[in-house]
Structure 1
């Protein structure tokens, strides 16, 4: 459903010199924080198959998917834990050499203090001399077409939207969270560009329709059928939309924060 958008940002983060200047070694212990299906772990294991990793996530379903991927790929030295990133219960202080949180700093808006709690936990569990990497969205370019399509189907009804505070999309906001967590002036934030992509516009729209239970809850089958065509038109109108040989995509802009302890 994400169309490799979070993967594309993770690749940029983990190959940046600010990350690689803290090299992963056989003694490294890495936290894949809010690990989801294991995107970060997959990238790290492809280069460092023997390194020790703990994958944590609040959603048991995500952890089950992570474990299934670990079995399929034959990952060794990988553990998992169902735990809230706002309070990494059972995780000791200062045990990790690297902590990577790929789009896990803003899991929802119901707890506006959540991002700061997560940042403080990252600082707590990171060892002295370690590096933390945190990514957040600067532009959710796919959200506009979803909302615009809803208005075309139901013009008199306010569409569902990700009601994220505007400041959460700023690099300065991410930097402040990390600074106040304990990292102080040992923080750098970079703007990077990734891509949500698929083999065709039809497939890209199919991926976007994966959020229909949120954006289009209660829509009839007839309305959902009409949405597909409307959404194609709205996606193609995006300035961030492009077509390349073998794929179509939407540019996704993110912030990557690097912090040292």
Structure 2
């Protein structure tokens, strides 16, 4: 791996380990919100009870844990770059009494598995953070059995994801933030139509389909939305760490006004739009 990509990977590892306590705190909230994405991935994988499944960038455990409840006579390996995230996944598996779960810290671009090991591969909201997305897709194809399926979820375009743009939009109006280098990891890095489909095709996958999933981030009130983004949304935390108390308060009040304009019932149910892309080896 090139030095520049290694630096991005190491930065991602540090970031996700740093934020793993926040993800643990908000795990029930977040997993309920993202459940429709996992359900669509699982539907696309057409799982059998004996399947061996790889969940790449599985974070705190989903959709890998749900998949494990389906492949009762198979095995699920949940991987992530951050050990702190996988600790949460293992805790969940232990509480559920699951014995067909393993976890593995690894880079998606260098999967530590033999060729043609897995019947299916899931990857929910991981590709946008991989330093080398094409290499990651090729690695997944390598470890997938012939005829096996892969399904991933990515965020759609910013205009369909008010949950992610509301706070950052206000921050960018109030702070002079350096523009990230082109192609840097981020929420909407893969949002261009056909982006992941093109990667899958280059990785040798076929029968590729795309399905849009639309919904709401159900916060209930503005304070919950603000606290959530301040705990787990890395760009928000990084930006506000550079602001003084007065600026943060100004941004907070402006975010509340923006959210109220979109959600006049003051329940802060913010739009999201994701795309599920699946293919077969």
TM-score of the superposition, structure 1-length normalised? 0.82
Structure 2 CA distance for partners of 1:167 and 1:161, relative to 1, 3 Å = closer
Superposition pairs for residues 63-82 of structure 1, below 5 Å? 63-82=86-105
**Separation of aligned partners in 1, 2:178 and 2:214:** 27
In structure 1, the gaps of 5 or more residues are none
SS of the residue corresponding to residue 87 of structure 1 reads coil
1:252 maps to what in 2? 272
* Greater shift in the superposed pair: 173-182 or 139-148: 139-148
Query: Of 18, 39, 46, which residue of structure 2 is paired with 1:11?
Result: 39
Superposition pairs for residues 238-249 of structure 1, below 5 Å? 238=262, 248-249=268-269
Is this contact kept in 1: 2:259–2:268, CA < 8 A? no
**Separation of aligned partners in 2, 1:73 and 1:159:** 44
The answer to whether 1:200 aligns with 2:243 is no
**Separation of aligned partners in 2, 1:242 and 1:164:** 36
1:83 maps to what in 2? 106
**Separation of aligned partners in 1, 2:53 and 2:38:** 15
1:55 maps to what in 2? 78
Aligned residues: 244
Is this contact kept in 1: 2:150–2:279, CA < 8 A? yes
**Structure with greater proportional helix content:** 2
Q: CA deviation at 1:103?
A: 1.1
Is this contact kept in 2: 1:50–1:76, CA < 8 A? no
Superposition pairs for residues 88-103 of structure 1, below 5 Å? 88-89=111-112, 91-103=113-125
SS of the residue corresponding to residue 203 of structure 2 reads helix
Q: CA deviation at 1:116?
A: 0.5
**Structure with greater proportional strand content:** 1
The answer to whether 1:121 aligns with 2:139 is yes
Q: CA deviation at 1:9?
A: 1.5
TM-score of the superposition, structure 2-length normalised? 0.76
SS of the residue corresponding to residue 204 of structure 2 reads helix
Structure 2 CA distance for partners of 1:49 and 1:232, relative to 1, 3 Å = farther
SS of the residue corresponding to residue 171 of structure 1 reads coil
SS of the residue corresponding to residue 110 of structure 2 reads coil
Q: CA deviation at 1:147?
A: 2.5
4+ residue runs over 6 A deviation? 159-163
Is this contact kept in 1: 2:68–2:101, CA < 8 A? no
Q: Give the alignment's Cα RMSD to 1 decimal.
A: 2.7
